[in-house]
Amino acid sequence: QVQLVESGGGLVQAGGSLRLSCATSGRTFNDHIMGWFRQAPGKEREFVAALTWNGGRTLYADPVKGRFTISRDNAKEMVYLQMNSLKPEDTAVYYCAAKFPGHMLVARASEYTYWGQGTKVTVSS
């Protein structure tokens, strides 16, 4: 089993920044993918970003490219999502997810096995 716990959400004005954190614990091994997804009210869950276990490769959804950065600290068992230049349309509940095993970056939510409980991000205009 893998446990994922997100934190760092909150209320921020448009143009501001937030850093989300995902604490991981439980079964871990090298070959896996970590991802961030989000779900806005009344909308389906959508892919935001993903990276490989060593952080060597990343994948971003088009709406967040150039504004969001996914990273990880394996020593601390943490995954981060740095969000800059936030827009009201970024308002959503953000989820951390893990795909075991995995070495290919994927954007489909169904590919991910483990999920956190989510952290809410609200961007005011």
Residue 26: the pLDDT is 84
Question: Which residues make Cβ contacts (< 8 Å) with residue 71, sequence separation at least 6?
Answer: 51, 55, 79, 80, 82
pLDDT at residue 29 greater than cutoff 70: no
pLDDT digits (tens, 9 = 90+) for 84-100: 999 999 999 999 999 98
From CA 77, how far away is CA 49, in angstroms rounded? 18
From CA 50, how far away is CA 72, in angstroms rounded? 10
**With 0-12 CB in 10 A as exposed, 13-18 as middle and 19+ as buried, what is 78?**
middle
pLDDT digits (tens, 9 = 90+) for 34-83: 999 999 999 999 999 999 988 789 999 999 999 999 999 988 999 999 99
Residue 32: the pLDDT is 87
**With 0-12 CB in 10 A as exposed, 13-18 as middle and 19+ as buried, what is 37?**
buried
Closest C-alpha to 118, from 43, 14, 9, 17: 9
